[in-house]
Amino acid sequence: EVQLEQSGAEVKEPGESLKISCKGSGYSFSTHWIAWVRQMPGKGLEYMGIIYPGDSDTRNSPSLQGQVTISADKSTSTAYLQWSSLKASDTAMYYCARIYSGSQADAFDIWGRGTLVTVSS
Amino acid sequence: SSELTQDPAVSVALGQTVRITCQGHSLRIYYASWYQQKPGQAPVLVMYGKNNRPSGIPDRFSGSNSGNTASLTITGAQAEDEADYYCNSRDSNGDHHYVFGTGTKVTVL
């Protein structure tokens, strides 16, 4: 079964660092882009960026440039989303998703269940 | 970056047809994909490309495209179709990025 397994919920204080993970299984992890998607409480889906695990080619959304770091380890089929100094406004659900690239369109075809990050003092 | 605009909310009577639209410049270049999200759950891909349904998605879901508008139609809406729906496409600004629509809440009456 093709799936993405995300790490568990986190509760952090402002200023702390954090790294959450997304482990792929059931397919060739190295050859599919992985996207990170943010959903703030009661809000819509927001694209954060993508990574190609095969060579770690990374594209960060211009609107979030510098706020997070996306990385991957193809040897463990795991992608990561990292913050060096969290803010209360980082409180959100974070999803990873596999990108299917077809002849007609790209699609986020497999999603993780999400990691809830709560930042509060 | 590009923007994709959706109506915030639509309602449909049980068994009737509802069309959800998504407008944006990027749709003149790229096909949209569509995602259904129910409360407390991760999004699920329901449509992509010209009119492609992933395995397991009922055939009451269909897609269409015209100019800068993509549409998702539910023919014979069921109670379980009540959810938020988001469109998505590649960003038309040249870089390899994506953009989500603003989302549409579908209520089945």
- Going by C-alpha positions, the residue among B57, B53, B54, B48 that lies closest to residue B22 is B48
Q: Going by DSSP bridges, is the β-strand pair B9-12/B104-108 parallel, antiparallel, or unpaired?
A: parallel
Interatomic CA distance for residues A44 and B84, integer angstroms: 9
Which residues, numbered 4 to 63 in chain A, qualify as contacts with chain B under a Cβ-Cβ cut-off of 8 Å? 35, 37, 44-47, 49-50, 59, 61-63
Chain-centre distance for alpha carbon A99: 12
Select the residue of B42, B49, B98 nearest A111 (Cβ to Cβ).
B42
pLDDT-derived band at A115, boundaries 50, 70, 90: very high
- Going by C-alpha positions, the residue among B96, B93, B95, B101 that lies closest to residue B2 is B93
Q: What percent of chain A has pLDDT over 90?
A: 91
Mean pLDDT of chain A: 96
Q: Are B100 and A45 in contact (CB under 8 A)?
A: yes
Distance from CA of B68 to the nearest CA of A (A): 15
pLDDT in tens, B18-72: 999 999 999 999 999 999 999 999 999 999 999 999 999 999 999 999 999 999 9
| CB-CB under 8 Å, B49 with A44 | no
Three-class SS state of B25: helix
